[in-house]
A and B are shown apart, each in its own frame.
Chain A
């Protein structure tokens, strides 16, 4: 059985050989590639703590078989900041108290980045809450999370308009 795969993770191409076909993307990132930002909450698709982007789209890495994602381009929470400059979504979570213990936060932030790219929610807080429902926060920081997503989205689109002008 050939268990080698190529992934582009946070812009860096990596050739990986697995010793076991059962490895999920989440376990690959955390246990084998030392990218422990993505969290394991439930490991069953029920909490969103493991959210990453594959080809720019948010998915649960705990229910993704790594070998099946051969050729994929992946972004994790480690790939968002530009050196010391935080991504606008990261900054907005700090500005709006979008967390308490922080365990769900990498998943929330990756999900928010995916949501903003999908461009379906607009400025409607209800749509943001619905689109973020795949991310559970046991600390109940939902109010700050919704505000952070709306604020980050506004800043990102203002930045785009500035760049276009």
Chain B
């Protein structure tokens, strides 16, 4: 790990000013940043520690019914907040399907949104990587790329965005509140992460010095609470990143889906909202056939970026199944294995 200057600001204004210096990085819990620094993948000259800032730790319901989550709220605190988990159960399920209990107790909301890809070439400073070092090439193209993206990739970068939390946030229309030297602004989560294009090093819309202060879930997202699930396929039952995942939320009235929300994880270069599939579901009666059609629509534009064509078929099955799980209803209690394909299947769900 390189040597760095440690700065502990006492206000957001101080933090933003300190992080405006080139080479600075914000420190949340450090569960991703320290890992990358130990590997020499990132070498910030200054760490601006956000963890002692006041007022970023709250989970509030605003007068309009939306939920506002401070950037320093721990992943586990959010997942286990009874009111929040009741209104947005798919967010709790996705959080609990990520990492381990220890990591979730430490990891912050802001850090989760900003976590870097797990592409093994990105994580190895000896490899060529346009994301880590612009212009050096991409060793994942033509390398070990079975866990890489089938949606949103470019010839410059095919890395997957690894977050589980961001997937239901994308589905439910979350908004990211940002503070910078010029004041505050906000951006929908689906616009917060950028496609790699020919600048894969620029992963989000944050400008130098800008920080996440909160994430908001709009009030209308709570209307899906009765029918929402997260499903995550990984290489072991727990404590592994997604190969393919999906968050589904349905509003069902008199046996008809009036509105659907769907987003994908583990298959795309950013948290991936599947609007074409959502449109197809609206107005339909829940059922295997329409769920399979929605799955086709969600992956209509998918292309293998290497040895990962299997993800297209796998992703479609995940979508069809998570829609069936959501239609069957949000379980009263969080399943013993959150988001797991190995959990008992709810009654009426056909195993696809």
Report the stretch among B102-110, B135-143, B152-160, B300-308 that lies at the interface.
Answer: B102-110
Q: Is the CB of B34 within 8 A of A133?
A: no
Interface residues of A in 100-155 (CB under 8 A from B): 111, 114-115, 118, 120, 124, 126-127, 129-135
Chain B: minimal CB distance from A29 (Å): 15
Q: Contacting B101 at CB < 8 Å: which of A3, A44, A114?
A: A114
Bound-state Cα–Cα, A22 to B44, Å: 12
Bound-state Cα–Cα, A135 to B137, Å: 37
Contacts of B253 in A (CB 8 A): none
Q: Mark B74-107, 1 if CB is under 8 A from A, else 0.
A: 0010001000000000000000000111110110
Q: Is the CB of A111 within 8 A of B102?
A: yes
Q: Is the CB of A51 within 8 A of B238?
A: no
Bound-state Cα–Cα, A43 to B102, Å: 14
Q: Is the CB of B336 within 8 A of A1?
A: no
Q: Is the CB of A64 within 8 A of B29?
A: yes
Q: Contacting B34 at CB < 8 Å: which of A48, A63, A132?
A: A63
Q: Is the CB of B102 within 8 A of A48?
A: yes
Report the stretch among A9-17, A52-60, A73-81, A156-164 that lies at the interface.
Answer: A52-60
- Beyond A60-B106, A64-B106, is A115–B101 a contact (Cβ under 8 Å)? yes
Report the stretch among B3-11, B192-200, B225-233 that lies at the interface.
Answer: B3-11
Asked whether any CB of chain B lies closer than 8 Å to the CB of A36, the reply is no
Residue tally, chain A, CB below 8 Å to B: 36
Chain B: minimal CB distance from A165 (Å): 28
Contacts of B105 in A (CB 8 A): 57-59, 114
- Beyond A67-B6, A68-B27, A127-B336, is A134–B102 a contact (Cβ under 8 Å)? yes
Q: Is the CB of A130 within 8 A of B238?
A: yes
Contacts of A64 in B (CB 8 A): 29-30, 34, 106
Q: Contacting A1 at CB < 8 Å: which of B5, B29, B102?
A: B5
Q: Is the CB of B35 within 8 A of A63?
A: yes
Asked whether any CB of chain A lies closer than 8 Å to the CB of B279, the reply is no
Interface of B is mostly: loop
Q: Is the CB of B6 within 8 A of A45?
A: no
Contacts of B100 in A (CB 8 A): 48, 133-135
Chain A: minimal CB distance from B326 (Å): 21
Q: Contacting A22 at CB < 8 Å: which of B3, B49, B103, B237?
A: B3
Contacts of A43 in B (CB 8 A): 38
Chain A: minimal CB distance from B36 (Å): 10
Interface residues of B in 12-37 (CB under 8 A from A): 27, 29-31, 34-35
Chain A: minimal CB distance from B80 (Å): 7
Asked whether any CB of chain B lies closer than 8 Å to the CB of A7, the reply is no
Chain B: minimal CB distance from A42 (Å): 10
A positions within 8 Å CB-CB of B:
1, 3, 20-22, 24, 43-45, 48, 51, 57-60, 63-65, 67-68, 70, 111, 114-115, 118, 120, 124, 126-127, 129-135
